[in-house]
Amino acid sequence: MRPENYKPVRHPPSHEYELYFGPNHPGIEGNYAIRVRLKGDVVQEAITDAGYLHRGFEKIMEERLWVQNVALVPRICVPDPVPMEESYARAVETLGGIEVPERAQWIRVLMLEMSRICAHLFTFGGNAATIGLYTNMFWGVTMRDLFLDIFEEITGARIYHMYITPGGVRRDLPDGVLDRLAAVLDELERKKPEFDDLFFENAVVINRATGVGVLTQAQALAWGVTGPNLRACGLAHDVRRDDPYLVYPALKFDIPTATSGCSLARMHVRRAEVEQSVRILRQVMERLRTVGGPVRAHLPNPLAWNVPAGEAYARTESSKGELAFFAVSNGGPKPWRIQVRGPSQMHGVQVLERILEGARIEDVAQIMFSLDACPPEIDR
């Protein structure tokens, strides 16, 4: 309703105009905004605007005990929470010199790869929705729900598991969950041709996504891009292989790459990564049937932990790229400083701003989704 004292505002000539893309916009990933200056429908300049999801994690983690933060860390990245738990736990383990039992390491890899598949399926759905293909979103989300059921069975929660703690995992796997996971993986593989048919062989996708949002390898290296976005430019870098953690050296998997660095190439890399994750999960499930032992190192009362002074930089390959936790302890019961290096802090801000220049307005949402930026990770 128009205010009583309404007075029209004079606007500048409208061949060049500014548009607020988000935060209240269905094409934006999460609660995030991009201010785009347009000429016609071509983006002249894009300025990202974050902070809508700022919770001050780094501050409130300093106010809580080391073990209390286990509940806090998965909330930093909503679609892909497990790598957060893993990074934090590994940072604490490095500081305290804690050895993780072998069975716990295998379980952690199981969780990490399931989380990667979930995040990629979600991105598939979101990416397709930005170019108007809603069926894909329905299928992707439904398929992801099958994995969430397995998560729920193992940890008791669908989204925020709080399962990986310093020294291992909270509890052992329930009986028979590996068989059910195998059935879910079979279902995923059975559905794969249908997904391909719907997305990668779809003329709409090919026409809209090929050659859009191109990132060259030189640009990607200069701007600190990691993860699938870097691999889509042809550099086979993966923290799982190059800076290995847990039992990844004992696993066989490939690092998929593409060369063109466009939106479609990034989605192809993610598709291949899902295949590799399935391959890893099959190996892990086989090993979990034979490897026994405890799932948690013997540690003192968690409420009385005083982690030895020092600093640790724990890197993990999340579904978005290189995730790192920098933890500093002064020997006290609470962390002195924890910094979160989320991969989206690179490709969701500076890189997004730069590759949006010259893009068309209808491709803005698609480019953002194909980069898979995760706003809560940027805001923290």
Partner 1 sequence: MTSQRASVPAQLDHILHEMSEVRVTPKGERRVRVDLAADRLPTLLQLLKGHGGFLHLSSISCVDWPETDEFELVYHVWSYESKMLISAHTLIAKSPGRFVSVYDIHAPAGFYERDIHEMYGVHFEGSPNLNKFILTSWHGPPPMLKSFDTRAYVDETYAWRDYNPQWLKDIAAKGGGIEE
Partner 2 sequence: MSENAGSRNPLQLRDQPETCRTADAEERSAWQRVIGRFADNCRARSLFVLHYCTGCGAIELPPTITSRFDMERVGVSPMVTPRQADILLITGYVALKTLKRVILSYEQMQAPKYVIGFGSCTINGGMYWNSYATIKQLDQYIPTDLFIAGCMPRPEAVQEVFLELMRMIDAGKANAWRDYYRNYDHYLANQQALFGPQWHTPTDIVAEAKHYGLMGPGTTGPHTRLLDQHAEWALDRIPEDYPERGENERSER
285 binds, among partner 2, partner 1, none (CB under 5 to 8 A by kind): none
Question: Quick check: 332 binds partner 1 (CB under 8 A)?
Answer: no
Question: Quick check: 341 binds partner 1 (CB under 8 A)?
Answer: yes
Q: Which is nearer to partner 2, 63 or 311 (CB)?
A: 63
Residue 110: both structure tokens together: 């199981």
61, burial (CB in 10 Å: exposed 0-12, middle 13-18, buried 19+): buried
Among the listed residues 198, 267, 324, 368, the single contact to partner 1 using CB under 8 A? 324
- Judge contact between 133 and 127, C-beta under 8 A: no
Tell me, what amino acid is at 190?
R
| Residues between 178 and 207 that touch partner 2 (CB under 8 A) | none
- Judge contact between 180 and 153, C-beta under 8 A: yes
Question: Quick check: 379 binds partner 1 (CB under 8 A)?
Answer: yes
> Is the preceding omega at residue 228 within 30 degrees of 0, hence cis?
no
Question: Quick check: 309 binds partner 1 (CB under 8 A)?
Answer: no
User: What is the DSSP track for 226-277?
Assistant: -THHHHTTT----HHHHS--TTGGGS-------SS-SHHHHHHHHHHHHHHH
DSSP letter assigned to residue 360: B
Question: Quick check: 49 binds partner 2 (CB under 8 A)?
Answer: yes
Q: Which is nearer to partner 1, 120 or 237 (CB)?
A: 237
Q: Which is nearer to partner 1, 254 or 311 (CB)?
A: 311
Residue 83: both structure tokens together: 């790598």
Return d(Cα 367, Cα 274) in angstroms, integer. Answer: 20
Query: Please, what is the minimum distance in Å from the beta carbon of residue 273 to partner 1?
Result: 19
Phi, psi (deg, nearest 5) at residue 316: -140, 145
Sites of contact with partner 2 (CB under 8 A):
1, 3-7, 9, 20, 23-26, 30-31, 47, 49, 51-56, 59-60, 63, 71-72, 75, 78-79, 122, 125, 137-139, 141-142, 144-145, 148, 157-160, 376, 379
Sites of contact with partner 1 (CB under 8 A):
49-51, 54, 56, 58-60, 63, 94, 221-224, 226, 235, 237, 242-243, 311, 313, 315, 322, 324, 326, 328, 336-337, 339, 341, 345-346, 349-350, 378-379
